[in-house]
Each structure stands twice: as C-alpha cells, then as structure tokens.
Amino acid sequence: MKIQTIGQELRTSNKQNYNRQPAFRRNWSEHVSWGANYVKETGKTNFKLFSFPDAKAVFVEVAGKVASHLGNIRERVVQVVATAGAAFTIDKVLSKDGDSTVYQMEHKGAGVYEINDVKAKPEDKYRYVVVDKNNNVNLVKDPYARKQEDIHGWSSIYNKDNYEWKNTDWLEGKDSRRIVRKPNEPMRGLDKLIIDEINIPTVSKEGTFAGAKARIDKIAERGVATAIEIMPVENTYSMQWGYDGVDKFAVNEKLGGAAGLKELIDYAHGKGLNVIMDMVPNHMGPDGDYLAQTGPYEKGSGQFGGEFNYEGRNNRYVRDWMANAALWWANEFKVDGLRLDMTKLCGSDYLLKQVVTEVNEHNPNVFTIAEDGRENKESVTRYEDSRVSHKDELDFIDTQVDFISERGWYSTPGNIGFDSEWDFRFMNTMKNAIISSGVNLLDDLDNKIKDSRHRVKYVMSHDEIGNWDGTRLIPKILVSHLGLYDKTNGNSDAQKGQNAARLGQQLAELIVSKDFGEMSDAKLTEYEKNIGLNTFIPKDALIDAFKTAIAKQKLAQGTVLTTPGPKMYFQGDDEADLSYFKFFREFSDERAVRAKSDDLKNGIVAQKGYDTLVEIARPDSMLGRVKPEGLFKDTQEQMVKFNKDLKALIDRMPVLTKGSLINTYKDHNHNVHVHQLKLDNEEVLVIKNFGQGFHDKNYEYYGFPQNSRWEEIFNSDNSLYGGSGYSNSGRKDIDNFNQRLSLAPNSFLILKKVN
C-alpha cells in the first residue's frame, strides 16, 4: 500500500539514524524485552520491534480483545498523514475508527523501534504499521508474537501468568530422572537419553495437548523412553507436522495454545519423562509469512519457504531473534532439551553457535540437539569449555559475521558445541541393513557403531516414514522381502516405488486382519489382484514375510538400544504400530485452489504417493489405527514386552549405556556383527544376526574373547516376544572353545561375562 498524502501537519521530530548501534548487550532483560510485554505493576505494555533501519516510520496499533471485527491484518487500512514535497515526512498514522489506537514508535538506531507504557493488557490485539523507505505502508504481525490465533490476523498480547507449574522438584533438579547437559547428581547425562518422537495431532483422536496425555501415560508405564520429543508446534494455519511454522514464538492454538502445552510438559515431568522441543531455525513456512515486509529478516525464498538473513546486511537482530526463540522455548515452557531442525540449511554456523552459547548461558541444564546431516561433521557437536565470557563469545560471533556480510568472506567457527545430533550415517546404514535382505553392510555398520557414541541413534524418524510413501519399517521390509517392486506396474520407477509401498501397507494390514487366517486361496488371489499385484503371493509366503519383518523390527530396535549413547524411536515403534505416518498440512488458500481444478492434488500425489490434505492423510496416520487380530493378535503385546524387558536389562546393567566399546567382530559369511562393551567389572557381547541362516547350537565365530566364560541374558527370538524360541538360556559353559550358539535369523542376543 502506497502512502496517500492527506495534508500538511506537524512534522515528527524523530530523526533517523541508520547506523547508530543501540547500547544493548544481550543480557537477560534485553532477551525478554522484544515484542509486546505487559507490566503487571503498571497495567501497561511495552513494545519493541526490529524493523528496517531506513524506515520512514514505525507505529503500533492496539485494539481491545473484544474488537470482534478485527480480521486479516491487511484489512482496516490506516490513514497516513504526511507532508508532501521534497522533504517528504511521515507525521502520523490514524486509526480507521475509535476501536483502535495508533502509537508512533521511537527509532533507537539500527532498526530497533520502541514505545513504553501503552494502555494495553493481555489478550488485547495489536499489529505494526511499517512505512518503509519507498513509502510503502506494511501492515504486519509481530515476529515476536507469543500468541497468534490466526497466521494472517492481529497478534495478541501474551499473558505470561497463564499456567502455574506443579512439578517444581523436576524444575529444581531434585528429581533423579531429569537429564541435563552436565551431570550433577542426582541429575543425569545424555547417555541415558531414549527418545520417543511424537506428533501431537496423531497421538490421539483429539489431536491436542490434552489428548496426548493418554499417550504420555502409556510411554511412562512402559518405561522404555526417558524422554519425548515433540515435533514442532510453532504456529501454522492447520494441524500438521509443524515444520511450516510462521510464528516462531507462538504455539499453534488448534493444538491447545501455550497454556495447554505447558500443562502437557508439566504432566510429562510428573510421569518422569524429559521433554525435548523441536524448533525450526532454517526457514519460514510458505503460508502466513510477513517477515519480508516487517524488516530485513529474510534473504529470499528457498525450497521450503523464506530463508533467514543471518549473515547479510542488518543481520544482528535477526540472529538475536532466532536465539531468543530458543531461549523462549527453554525458559517459558521449561523444556529439558531443544532439537533444531536441519541446521545445515540455516546457512550460518555462527547463528547455530550463538543459539548454543545463549542457551548454555541462560539455561545451562537444557541440552541442544542438531539435525544437521553433514556427514557427522565433528565441529557440530564439538564442545569446548569456553574460557571467554558470554559477552566476548557473542562479540566474536558479531565480528566474524560482520566480515562475512561486508566483505563476502567465507568463515565458520571452529566448533559449534551442540550436545548431540541426529546420526544420519548410523540411520542410513541401519535402515539399509534391515530393509535390504541379504545385503552385506557389516563394514559400514561397524564404523557407524564405533563413531556414534555421542550422537542420537535411530532407524526411522518422521522423515524416513512420511516424506516419501508414508509407510513404517514393517511394510517397507515386506516390500523388499516379497519383491513387490517387481510385482506391480507403473509408468515410472517412482510410481512403481510408490505402488510397491502401498502394496506393502495393504498386505501388512491384511495379514494382521481378523479373517486372514481363514482366507481361501481364491479370495486371496482376488484381493491381491484388486490391490494391483500382478503376481500371486501365497498365504504361507505372506506369513513368513511378516514374521521376518517383526524379527527385523526387534533387531533394529535392539541394535539401537544396545549401542551406548543417546537413542530414539518414532511414536508406536515400541509396539510395532502399522499405521501410516503421512505428511499432512493445509494452506489458508488451499481449498479455493483445489475447488478450481485437481492439478494441485494430482501434483502432490505424483510426488508423495498420497494426498496430503489434513482430513485425508491425518486419519490414516493416527497412532493405533491398525489393530492386529487373527494370527498376529499378540504382536503388539509381544513387542511391548520385548522393549520393556530390554530396557529393564539396560537399567540394571550400566555397561549397556555407559560402557566402552572395546572390540567388534564382523562375520561376512553369515552377516553377523558383534560388539563388546566393558564398564568396570561388567562386560557384555551383543551378537546381531542380519542374515537369514538358522543356527541351531552350531554358530561359532573366530575372535570370540579368550579365557572367559559367558551366559545368555537376553535373546530377541524368545517365544515371549513372538520368536521361534531359539535359546542358549541356562548354559554356563560358553567360551571360545565351546560356543555352539543358537542364533535365529534376524535376531540378536546378549551374553554377559561370568565373573
């Protein structure tokens, strides 16, 4: 919107000084001063915004919370009073009516605008009016908004007294189950971190924070996970995965808002679970992004949305903005850890170092985890106890980024200092070893286990499940084991892959259905033909493939849980859940676009293999949607017992969590990998069979530890876990001369050294 000159009025005396730096030093009072801050003692609100350093003027418009006619922030166009002529000057901005009041903000320098003691209270609405150097009038929401009910609407003044925390012992470090960066009894370190990654919209029918409590109860009762990681709840238009957030400080109101999130976190703490919050520092979502009209926050558009101006001109307060977002989640919501999404796409390791530096300074017990994906670049998780002050560290970052932005130099810090990162290399190797039947990847797996101590190990996250075909590990194994890619048709390799994944899912759901066991060959043939199989697969082959997939699921989970260091699994993997987890979201204009033609839908289906519309993809992705019956009615109960028993063993034997990796062995002939752990007088062997061979009291391997005896203390093939019952239980004579182990295909066992 261009300025329309109304008349010559009193000129403003606010002179612009583009280069003057405000005297801010990033102390705590500055961190919390941005945005709209209500002061209870005065009953008034202070506003602070980073906008364009060369803006003509910046105003804040405030309206009472009862102003129900407030809609899109672009509506209710303000009147601009200005002086025409060569010395064009903004004099004032007038409200459209008496329902709102407009206040001019003072430019403190470098694009920082402030006004204090405004008559505004919690839940009142506000927006900023930015008149840029080209005389465009931008009506924008607050990038620091802590409450944003509509991504296109006015911001709301946040009520920081919206919840009273109950589990204060946890917050004060008196609960021994809490995990912190630097262990200080009775608190623990990250070596005991077992994460259950959850998505709020799909862990309950309600799809809310309140609805998620039932899942928290199950996680706590099983006792496998020591933490939950909540996929992002940054504000978006709809329920979704959360990685398209556009209000980085505001909780999605559809999920239950800030108070609902606090209550859920408090509830999880009361159940003994640590809480990790996922945040997205690498891009803005493509729907509801007004940052480019607010100030120099962005450098342009990228693959996923607006990319941030962390190292360009006027970058200082953009970096502070994201660092403050991390501090907001850590401090306001009392989370125990922060996970930063795809950090390599931030385009600035200095931003990452700044986030880590600020969190370590102001919330020293909160740990940080990166999803980086740069082949385990050591500097990402290299921690060096800094001998310089917090201020000097930030001054160093500022200086380096100034050189980059002004001279175009390339530079990265020597270390960033995340406490951990998602181990992409371990995940890819494990995924291939599990899914690709018979493929020998032992050398690669051996290296990844040795290199994985301080990184988060996992086999499947939301990405590996949902970003392609939406299927979990078991259907993916069925695709490989049954050769479904070659048993379906398609116009391209991509389409055949998607069709094969769909077949794997449909066959998995058929196999666990109530009537599968009694299904005749004729009915099975008809069913397989109807779903798109071009070759008949007999019932026995389907049953064998599903048993193999279950065994491999246990092998994958067991390998992760018996490798020292932090680890993770996705929601439902501890019970072999078969539900889809599809990517789903809805844009504010999506329905209108879809109503015109099917082009959008067809393009999405061609890319993903399914429609991503919330009401289509979300029901398919609901945790527990598939209820095993018939032949495999006990599968989930058996998988839960498997995980509970293994975790109980881990708790009893610290060697499985903190032990040193003293030896590994690779049996390429049988596709078996062994790793040996030792801690004080405890010593264990973890023997993992990725092969298809049955070993009935006849498996031996060269390199078995000499001069020691061993006993079996865990076997994934135990009949209690749905296995075939191969066992070495009760034997006390296992040594390098007398191995002769029973080892089922796709299983693992743990031997303990007998003292």
Specify the range with the lowest mean pLDDT, choosing from 23-32, 357-366, 536-545, 564-573.
23-32
d(CA 368, CA 357): 10
Query: What gap in Å lies between CA 632 and CA 551, rounded to an integer?
Result: 13
Is the Cα torsion angle 200, 203, 207, 210 positive or negative in sign? negative
- List pLDDT tens digits, range 652-676: 999 998 899 999 999 999 999 999 9
CA distance 572 to 321: 35
Closest to 457 measured CA to CA, from 342, 355, 369 = 369
Dist. CA 614–CA 625, nearest whole Å: 16
Q: Are 275 and 269 in contact, with CB atoms under 8 Å apart?
A: yes
Q: How many CB atoms lie within 10 A of CB 506?
A: 18
Tell me the one-letter amino acid at 105: M
CA 674, distance to chain mean position in Å, is 31
**pLDDT tens digits along 579-618:** 999 999 999 999 999 999 999 999 999 888 899 999 999 9
Strands (E), 172-273: 194-198, 227-230, 234-235, 247-251
Q: What is the pLDDT of residue 283?
A: 96
The pTM for the full model equals: 0.95
Judge contact between 129 and 60, C-beta under 8 A.
yes
- Classify residue 2 by its DSSP letter: B
Name which of 180, 175, 128, 179 is nearest 154 in CA terms. Answer: 128
Q: 321 to each of 219, 267, 273, 317, 334, how far by Cα in Å?
A: 34, 29, 29, 6, 19
**pLDDT at residue 205 tops 70:** yes
Instruction: Give me the chain's average pLDDT, please.
Output: 92
Distance CA 5, CA 251 (A): 39
Task: Output the CA angle 364-365-366, nearest 5 degrees.
Answer: 95
pLDDT digits (tens, 9 = 90+) for 467-504: 879 999 999 999 999 999 999 998 899 899 999 999 99
Q: How far apart are CA 114 and CA 47, in angstroms?
A: 6
Looking at residue 225, its pLDDT comes to: 98
Alpha-helical segments (H) within 335-461: 349-362, 378-381, 390-407, 424-435, 442-450
Question: ∠ CA 94-97-100 to the nearest 5 degrees?
Answer: 75
319: nearest Cα among 345, 358, 272, 287: 358
Q: Is the dihedral of CA 486, 488, 489, 493 positive or negative?
A: negative
One-character DSSP codes across 712-755: EEEETT-GGGTS-----TT---BSTTS--EEE-TTEEEEEEEE-
Q: Are strands 420-421 and 367-370 parallel, antiparallel or unpaired?
A: parallel
Confidence at residue 382, expressed as pLDDT on a 0 to 100 scale: 80
> CA 360 from chain center: how many Å?
20
Strands 682-689 and 298-301: unpaired
Dump the DSSP string for 310-328.
Answer: SSSTT-HHHHHHHHHHHHH
Q: Are 351 and 405 in contact (CB under 8 A)?
A: no
77-117 pLDDT, tens digit each: 888 887 766 566 777 888 888 889 999 999 999 999 999 99
Distance CA 288, CA 143 (A): 11
For residue 558, give every residue at least 6 positions away whose Cβ sits within 8 Å of its Cβ, in sequence order, or none: 646, 686, 688, 716, 748
pLDDT of residue 10: 29
Strand partners, 107: 113
Is residue 188 over pLDDT 70?
Answer: no
Structure tokens that stand for 634 in this block: 């006990």
d(CA 175, CA 269): 9
Which helix (H) or strand (E) segment holds residue 291: the answer is helix 291-294
- Cα–Cα distance, 733 to 739 (Å, whole number): 8
By the 8 A CB rule, do 156 and 67 touch? no
Sign of the Cα torsion 255, 260, 264, 267 reads: negative
What gap in Å lies between CA 395 and CA 190, rounded to an integer? Answer: 30
Nearest residue to 156 via CA among 241, 257, 296, 233: 257
pLDDT in tens, 496-549: 999 999 999 999 999 999 999 999 999 999 999 999 999 999 999 999 999 999
Residue 753 has pLDDT above 50, yes or no: yes
**Which pLDDT belongs to residue 440?**
62
**Is 451 in a helix, a strand, or coil?**
coil
Identify the residue with better confidence: 382 or 594.
Answer: 594
- Per-residue pLDDT tens over the stretch 39-78: 999 999 999 999 999 999 999 999 986 666 788 999 888 8
Report which of 609, 616, 610, 608 is spatially closest to residue 591, judged by C-alpha positions: 616
pLDDT at 409: 77
Q: Give the angle 632-552-669 at the CA atoms, nearest 5°.
A: 135
What single DSSP character describes residue 217? H
What is the C-alpha to C-alpha distance for residues 349 and 367, in angstroms, rounded to an integer? 18
Cα–Cα distances (Å) from 518 to 97, 411, 441, 530, in that order, read 73, 66, 39, 19
The three-state secondary structure class of 89 is strand
**Whole-number Å distance between alpha carbons of 420 and 520:** 52
Note the helical H segments in 88-212.
168-171
Give the per-residue pLDDT at 85. 62
Residue 219 carries which side chain, given as an amino acid letter?
I
Sign of torsion over alpha carbons 19, 21, 22, 26: positive
**Cα–chain center distance at 549:** 26
State the Cα–Cα distance between residues 112 and 107, nearest whole angstrom: 6
Can you tell me the distance from the alpha carbon of 749 to that of 747, in angstroms, rounded to the nearest whole number?
A: 7
Q: What is the pLDDT of residue 7?
A: 33
The least confident of 70-84, 556-570, 628-642, 704-718 is 70-84
Give percent of the chain above pLDDT 70.
94
Rounded CA separation 294/296 (Å): 7
Q: Would you state the pLDDT for residue 96?
A: 84
pLDDT, position 4? 41
Q: H or E stretch including 138?
A: strand 137-140
439: pLDDT strictly greater than 60: no
Residue of 568 and 22 predicted with greater confidence: 568
Supply φ then ψ for residue 638, to 5 degrees. -65, -40
Q: Give the confidence band of 405 by pLDDT, cuts at 50, 70, 90.
A: confident
Long-range Cβ contact pairs of 346-349 (< 8 A, separation 24 or more): 346/281, 346/282, 346/308, 346/310, 347/282, 347/299, 347/307, 347/308, 347/310, 347/311, 348/310, 348/311, 348/319, 348/401, 349/379, 349/412, 349/413, 349/416
